[in-house]
Amino acid sequence: MSKITWTDDLATGVDQIDAHNQSLLYILDELFASDMPCEMRSRMCHKIEDTIVYLTRNFLREEALMVECDVPDAEGHKREHRTLLDELLRLQRTLECGRYDTSEMFDLISSWVLAHIEIWDKELGRRAHANPGLAIKPDALAASLSDEPRSGIAVGAAE
């Protein structure tokens, strides 16, 4: 499994979006790294659960920013969020913890995230730059990232 490294070409130019995406890539690398054992065999996988928790919070913040920026196809963007969450919830119900290929899960989520950044988040970044008086401020969002998922990986952490 290859690690995803944040590069400037992934940046949207909006600190809060980029920080969340960097954190997400870090979390995916940590959760689905082959050397992180799963302790809950035959139970719901905390790795998938932690990913769902982080994505849900991240998507809610992003969707609030979409409203503020009056993004034209906000509903399409939200549908993309919902589609990934629905797929992860389905996989969480069907996969037994420790009994699936974590590299396949990593590939599924990371390829979705990278495509999502290119198609949706960069456009959101352009719209945010066109609206300099946004009510949502990066400091307020950073403070709301303090919750930690069950795995103990800090949600706000980034390399």
Query: What are 43-52's pLDDT values in tens digits?
Result: 667 888 889 9
Asked if pLDDT for residue 94 goes beyond 90, the answer is no
Instruction: Write the CB contacts of 87 (distance below 8 Å, at least 6 apart in sequence).
Output: 108
Mean local confidence (pLDDT), 139-144: 44
CA atoms within 13 A on the CB side of 135: 8
Please give the domain boundaries of the chain with CATH numbers for all domains: 14-132 (1.20.120.50)
pLDDT for res 149: 47
Report helix, strand and coil shares of the chain as percent, to nearest 5: 60, 0, 40
Question: Is the pLDDT confidence value at 118 over 90?
Answer: yes
For residue 107, pLDDT beyond 50:
yes
Helical axes 102-116 vs 15-31, angle rounded to 10°: 170
Contacts of 74 (CB under 8 A, 6+ apart): 63, 66, 67
